Structure 1
Amino acid sequence: MSAPLQGHRARKRFGQNFLQDPGIIRRIVRAIGPGPKDHLVEIGPGMGAITELLVESEAKLDAIELDRDLIPGLKVKFFNQANFQVHEADALKFDFASLQREGQPLRILGNLPYNISTPLIFHLLSYEGVVQDMHFMLQKEVVERLAAQPDTGQWGRLSVMAQYFCQIEQLFLVPPDCFHPKPKVDSAIVRLTPRAEKEAVVTDLDAFAHLVRQAFAQRRKTLRNNLKGLLTGEQLESLGIDPQRRPETLKVSEFVALSNFQQQLATQPD
């Protein structure tokens, strides 16, 4: 989330589209509401347009930047800010828990490149225990999938997994004119807040993720077909779930029930 600086060209391989609209930048920071007691983590600070306002809040700010050519500029721009530190790293591989100090939760934000946004969100969901909230700029369609409801075309694996872990709020749209270079898609700001209490708790997260992935492997097929090898039609019926239903009709709690039942069966002695 940053504005372009003379001499740096946005790189396609990093999915760089620099935010340059001052009004939108201020609106994003207001939505985050950073304070001096917060520990912020910004993914992809770029040239530091939003970073600048975050630093002014006196919050502790760790920035994760993959483009090594941008890091010297960030260090110069914020050289006298004791609350700022930049890390040259790939956010997809970064251990966010390593930034936590004295149990203080992290507030993560960033303008996530379109080409890695979904895998990066899955990576970040695994850190729910150390995260207070997350604010991201994403392709509008990705935000719609995150915030989707069952029985809609947008409801899918990303919706189920994100909503199991977090409450999702779509905040506002950001048009292409706010960026340089202009992306070919609309963007949106979304807030993800880890749930203090879950409606239903899975017994094995890896098994849950596998079942959800398999359920949506072929959206037009029924649960009976997609879950073959995990659960039979009779087992689905025993849980009160019609095996002829399609995956997009199931609520998160139903996926949890399927996964927990499948795990129960898998751990039973032969």
Structure 2
Amino acid sequence: MSKKPVAHKARKRFGQNFLHDHGVIRRIIRAISPHESDQMVEIGPGLGALTEELLSEAGELDAVELDRDLPPILRAKFFMYGDKFRIHEADAMKFDFSQLRKGEKRLRIVGNLPYNISTQLIFHLLSHSGNVEDMHFMLQKEVVDRMAAGPGENNYGRLGIMAQYYCNVEALFKVPPGAFNPAPKVDSAIIRLTPYHDLPYVAEDVEQFKTVVRTAFNMRRKTLRNNLKPLLSAESLESIGIDPTLRPERLSVADFVSISNFLTQHKGKETD
């Protein structure tokens, strides 16, 4: 039996909305399907509603929590797990997740991510994708839609391309505001990100790839000819089989990798 939790008021500055709907919690756990052999990591455990289910099935968990008032509450609640429940009082945006990895076992990361930092945090986590088996996140539904969108869809852009470069992306199911306390003003959704062990398309210079994607979407209603002009000419785009009159949202991840690799291979050469 866990000890009775201490009352804690959600703090707006941490973007806290605590999950309390047990039906939703069980649905998330089924989607994650934790096992005793897994190395589970939870970002922002809050009051431990999801933590409790994860621990009961996996038996061991590392939690990363920024709110300094919460670790004592969580340690009291899960004292029976001893050193199998470890809290890292840290900002997940600056945390080195690779330090949690033990041997060859990859991390399984879970989190109800604060809406105000979710995009930046996901970019940070993608930089650790080589240490990760999979990630299941509760996010604002709009962010999930952007991450899962494909070429030609309105929500398709930089976030989706970068996520899909590193991971297989699956939007799982929607979660209503009433599942949280306090209830947010937007719908949420669960997403699964499974990093590729072998990337389907390899950018020879990842920083160059990021620059191409960012530059292409600076003004998304303009054509590639206009947006990518600082990087390469329309003729260069045509030479690699890409129509310069297209808008950036029409291109696949593979197309952006092709542009990036062309630039890497022709570095220092004039493109105008």
Common fold: TM-score over 0.5: yes
Give the Cα–Cα distance (whole angstroms) in 2 for the partners of residues 200 and 221 of structure 1: 26
- Per the alignment, residue 219 of structure 1 pairs with 220
Match of 1:21 in 2: 21
Asked whether the equivalents of residues 167 and 195 of structure 2 are also in contact (C-alpha less than 8 Å), the reply is yes
Percent of aligned pairs with the same amino acid: 60
Contact 1:168 1:190 in 2 (8 A): yes
Q: Which amino acid aligns with 1:65?
A: E
Residue 190 (1) aligns with residue 191 (2): yes
Q: Greater CA deviation, 41-50 or 55-64? A: 55-64
Contact 1:39 1:59 in 2 (8 A): no
How many Å separate the matches in 1 of 2:79 and 2:189?
Answer: 31
SS in 2 for 1:133: strand
Equivalence map 1:186-265=2 (5 Å): 186-265=187-266
Q: CA deviation at 1:267?
A: 5.9
2:140 corresponds to: 139
Matches within 5 A, 1:1-270: 7-81=7-81, 82-266=83-267
> How far, CA to CA, are the matches of 1:162 and 1:59 in structure 2?
30
Structure 1 alignment gaps of length 5 or more: none
AA in 2 matched with 1:168: V
Query: RMSD of aligned C-alpha atoms?
Result: 1.3
Q: How many pairs does the alignment contain?
A: 265
Q: Is the 1:20–1:178 Cα contact (8 Å) retained in structure 2?
A: yes
- TM superposition shift of 1:128: 1.3
Structure 2 gap segments, 5+ residues each: none
Q: Distance in 2 between matches of 1:146 and 1:59?
A: 31
Superposed displacement of residue 139, structure 1: 0.4
Aligned AA for 1:57? Answer: E
Q: 1:95-138, CA deviations, whole angstroms, 9 ceiling, x for partnerless residues?
A: 00011111210000100011100011111111111100000000
Q: Is the 8 A contact 1:132 1:193 kept in 2?
A: yes
For 1:71 and 1:152, the matched residues in 2 are separated by: 42
Cα distance in 2 for partners of 1:74, 1:138 equals 23
* Deviation beyond 4 Å, 4+ runs, structure 1: none
Residues 65 and 91, structure 2, Cα contact 8 Å, conserved in 1: yes
Work out the CA distance in 2 between the residues paired with 1:225 and 1:100. Answer: 44
In structure 2, distance between residues paired with 1:194 and 1:255:
19
